[in-house]
Chain A
Amino acid sequence: MDYVIKKQGESRSFPEGEGFLEGASSEGDIVLHLGTQFEPDAGKTAVLVELEMECLGVHTGEHAGIEGSNALGFARYRNGDDAPSNLIELVRQPATDDSAIAAARAIFEAAGFEVAVSADQVGRIIDRLVRPKYNAALTFLDEGLATADDMDMTCRLGLGYADGPIERLEQGGLAHHFDVTKALFEVYGTPAYAPGRRATVAKQRRSAE
């Protein structure tokens, strides 16, 4: 299926040189907005907007829990400054067309990505689930439960993870963790999402630079 890319600036999902960018056509039934203003187009099978922390509803508007059209949001999961993963989180609304979801899934899967469909919630699937755990690890570190190395080793050896929470946070950037958790905290309001002390410090230092 042919897809058209409308792009402005650098995309977090598809940095310059990505094959997916090169696979785009000049015309097609699917339109992707990478940094460009969302324009509804009922004549297309699907119109996709690349999201950062915001909801798709910011672009489409919402109405009493029955919103939905051929518009979809998406983001390729990326831990801060780390290289992007192979996962595309595809964001739907309650009444999104099944055909739009199927078409979006098809172009991403054809390009070799894996797709997980998420409701239109801040943090989608991964950040919603993993950020409170990273916050807990930062708290444990401050409280002396274990050293960073021991916490990371526990996750690698005990849970089979590729890396532990502290090394992952350092790699992706603690200031990035601050930005993500702040956005989550604003919406969910639960202490688990409140940016951890170490992330706040990192953000303050970044801002002072």
Chain B
Amino acid sequence: MSTNIQKVGVCGAGGTMGAGIAIVASRAGFETACFDTSMEVLDRARSQTEGFFGKSVDRGKMATTDRDAALARLSASTDMGALADCDLVIEAVFEDLGVKRELLGALDGICKPEALFASNTSTLSITEIAAGCDRQDRVVGMHFCLPAQLMKLIEMSPGVNTSDEAFADAWAWTEAAGQQPVATQDKPGFILNALLVPFNNDAIRAVEAGVASPTDIDKAIKVGLNYKMGPLELLDLVGLDTQMLLCEAFYPVTLDPRASAPPLLRRMVAAGHLGRKTGRGFYTYDDNAMFGG
């Protein structure tokens, strides 16, 4: 797949998604400039990346020379100026409209005029984020899945002012990076979260309505539909607080009742039952072992 993009910048590269996106870019042969607000998080991401590539070598998925080359293509800085010559800048900073708009505004003054900006936002509008800069025609939605270094899917969405050419260039880059893009629109949750968040809420409501126990609901969904995980164990893994944030982002925009936070979810979050990370959600966890809910 051909692309004119040679150098990629990743903002928030010290974070979970940013570090994974930087791996995707450098592994595929692109010069990758990692940018974050502290060197500490960038150093931590660097050592995690070395560990990840090391495992790829051990498992025979990557040659030692390719690992060394991929690591050599990665640079890190807390100076935004390091992104000046990037052809594509992907942002994966905090999920906050103000932070993202301010970032794009600052990048606009530093990056070359033809550079593309991409946002990895899960819940915000691409058009609203793009409104923070003067190149709205060159801003696209590029939503990676967690963990980005392993998941191939990218949901691609144009904002209202995105040009067809910019969208096509960004699309071509994702293919050149070995990813699988799908085209969607600038709507809350794109495809994946638009289907998943209300579905998970419905499962919470079924528990609350006494339809079945969490164990029985998860078993029914896994065995009956061949899903790898049931909705309630998935919620425990993702975190019930995260599900709340998703609901609070989507419901006010769509007014879809299925996207509103179910009362049981609110109570569980208030009680600190956030899922695996607090040892208790729809199930209880002890030393990582799972017990029936």
Residues of chain A touching chain B, judged by Cβ–Cβ distance below 8 Å, are 77, 85-87, 89, 114, 116-119, 121, 124-126, 128-130, 132-133, 136-137, 140, 144-147, 150-151, 153-155, 157-163, 165, 190-192
Contact = CB atoms under 8 A, between A and B. Distances in A.
A103 to B, nearest CB: 18
A110 B10 CA distance: 55
B80 interface: no
A119 B210 contact: yes
Nearest to B180: A157
Interface residues of B, number: 41
A86 B226 CA distance: 10
Interface string B183-194: 111010001101
A91 to B, nearest CB: 10
A118 B206 CA distance: 10
12 contacts: A87-B219, A87-B224, A118-B220, A125-B212, A130-B225, A133-B202, A146-B191, A154-B153, A154-B182, A161-B226, A161-B228, A192-B257
A77 B224 contact: yes
Contact of A150 (B184, B196, B202, B223): B184
B216 A116 contact: yes
Given A125-B212, A132-B198, A114 B223 contact: yes
A125 B223 contact: no
Nearest to B223: A87
Interface string B3-23: 000000000000000000000
Given A137-B195, A140-B194, A159-B196, A85 B223 contact: yes
Nearest to B193: A158
B69 interface: no
A157 B196 CA distance: 13
B184 to A, nearest CB: 5
Nearest to A89: B220
Contacts of A117: 212-213, 216
Contacts of B241: none
A129 B199 contact: yes
B62 interface: no
Contact of B153 (A121, A126, A153, A162): A153
A116 B196 CA distance: 22
A133 B199 CA distance: 6
